[in-house]
Chains A and B, each alone.
Chain A
Amino acid sequence: DTEVTQTPKHLVMGMTNKKSLKCEQHMGHRAMYWYKQKAKKPPELMFVYSYEKLSINESVPSRFSPECPNSSLLNLHLHALQPEDSALYLCASSHREGREVYEQYFGPGTRLTVT
């Protein structure tokens, strides 16, 4: 199974709402990533979890809150977002051992619209 799943596929939320994005993989990967992608731009790294611990926070605003309940699941909690946060949110996973570099497997993404 080389699939990363993400739910929901689409999400529309108001600026006062609280919502969560979910990501799941069953490839035994111990690194999981959240990316934000605007139209016609490359994905931008937001968070990296390595062995269920947050290792990187790319100075992302606190209205985005990641959570890694176990090695297969990754959540992104959203609160008080701004319209400019509308984008495609991609989850990815990879093997990670020390400095060994492995390919990332991406989920299909959640297209978020903030109204």
Chain B
Amino acid sequence: QQPVQSPQAVILREGEDAVINCSSSKALYSVHWYRQKHGEAPVFLMILLKGGEQKGHEKISASFNEKKQQSSLYLTASQLSYSGTYFCGTEITSGTYKYIFGTGTRLKVLA
């Protein structure tokens, strides 16, 4: 049930773009995106609720496909501060409530 993220790791130069995918075998109720820097707590980036939704936050945006089985996070013109591990997260609402994070994507931006 854990969403699978790809790629597992990516290295960029400043100014380059990246896409991180979060895929599930079943439709997701919602998708949250978090970034966690080394030794720090996860920080919320954005939430998507509806199939076909797209949302942006400065140079970071995300989409949720129509079937609600895949979400993508787009990082444009990356900055050094974008380095960290990105997690998607979702609620599993069949049976008992669960909140589960995806497998994670380690992103490193080099100067």
Q: Which residues in A have some Cβ–Cβ distance to B below 8 Å? A: 4, 33, 40-45, 48, 55-56, 58, 90, 99, 101-109
CB pair A108 B47 closer than 8 Å: no
CB pair B30 A42 closer than 8 Å: no
CB pair A103 B101 closer than 8 Å: no
Ranked nearest first, the 5 interchain pairs of A and B with the lowest CB-CB distance are A42-B101, A106-B41, A103-B44, A101-B30, A106-B42
Cα of A102 to Cα of B41 in the assembled complex, Å? 17
User: 12 interchain pairs (CB within 8 A)?
Assistant: A33-B99, A41-B104, A42-B103, A42-B104, A43-B101, A45-B100, A56-B96, A90-B41, A103-B44, A103-B47, A105-B44, A108-B41
Q: Which residues of A contact B103 (CB under 8 A)?
A: 42
Q: Is B43 an interface residue (CB 8 A)?
A: yes
Interface size on B, residues (CB 8 A): 24
Cα of A43 to Cα of B32 in the assembled complex, Å? 14
Cα of A104 to Cα of B93 in the assembled complex, Å? 17
Task: Assess A58 versus B49: contact at CB under 8 Å? Given A101-B91, A106-B43.
Answer: no
CB pair A42 B93 closer than 8 Å: no
Q: Which residues of A contact B41 (CB under 8 A)?
A: 4, 90, 106-109
Cα of A56 to Cα of B100 in the assembled complex, Å? 13
CB pair A101 B98 closer than 8 Å: no
Kindly report which residue of chain A lies nearest to residue B2, judged by CB atoms.
A42
Cα of A96 to Cα of B43 in the assembled complex, Å? 18
Which among A41, A43, A44, A104 is the interface contact of B44 at CB below 8 angstroms?
A: A104
CB pair A43 B42 closer than 8 Å: yes
> From residue B74, how far is it (CB to closest CB) to chain A in Å?
19
Q: Which residues of A contact B97 (CB under 8 A)?
A: 48, 55-56
Cα of A101 to Cα of B91 in the assembled complex, Å? 8
